[in-house]
Structure 1
């Protein structure tokens, strides 16, 4: 659908690449994991802010398929942090009517973490407020490859006619098949790249690259970026009139 005038409303779905935790900690003379813990606390504030700004869906990049290249100490610390976050926040998320989903390849994650993820998804399945999606062991290329394998299996098994495949087919096989595409993607910490995040889904997303490190990202900054979106002229390939 083409648009020929600025948006009358803000973004329905905001995705965030939460970058800068390590640099934030190092600037304070602390280990990188100190920054990751500070960043995890910041997530709560932004989730709680979503209803105030009309954001129905929030997707956050927690751990990428490339993050396994970090030191064993940092990776182990992050996995412990994810387990602790789920255990600590589960009841609060449910009480705040937040529906939680996880995307990414879970196979490489440890069994305890996978179990906690399953439990949180089941616990919040009936929630009707903010939709929080957490990307763990996620990469856009990996997601497309896994989706293509599933699609190919359906073709091989006679469940899908290859002649019927078009650009609307693959999204049904993606991890995000039940989510709308993001309207706005935010990356913190001054880096201007998308780092393999929601490659297919973000084809028409607006981007905001800001210098703020994630632990310093506040609801006021979030609100400002969401507000800026409303003034953008989104034409989806159409000509400006």
Structure 2
């Protein structure tokens, strides 16, 4: 299958960052010039589950996987917990009801990728607006909602994990993937996006399966198979 968007020649910029005394790695992506996609299964329906398998699938098309990260929670069969859209085809519906775990810690949200932009949108706002996302993954909780921190986050919370997520600018052009390099609570992770990265909306991806693939930096976090994966697609000939 040929690429439907022109592959990016510019690699996402990843760097180390310190916030509130904790260490993070962030990867800046320009949604206007770089190709951002979500991956879950092969055309035959087999779950990809890992960065190397996504990369191999892309290389068969003359492309390669640039910066990538796990992109949302999933069931034991690796199926997405909430809304999932790939190449315009919806594989799982939007869930707006309160539920167990971090996903159900409302408000949660959707990472929506459209031609030339990408946005984190709170789930009820997403339902009302019904944007035409070419790719979308739902996760939760929201970390930052229109510039405000999630109301349930506490500065002194002792619930700490390695965490990862995504934030977007108001114009949908700046996308930042972030992962903590040590265990942090939700408050510290949320304020990273709000106060240091200055992003008005940010979404939590996970805290037990947080992984980053950044070949330009020599980083490849490994582990058990994953569900949805977000990544930048590059031209393999560059």
The structure richer in helix per residue is 1
TM-score when normalising by structure 1: 0.27
TM-score when normalising by structure 2: 0.27
The structure richer in strand per residue is 2
Q: Which structure has the greater CA radius of gyration?
A: 1
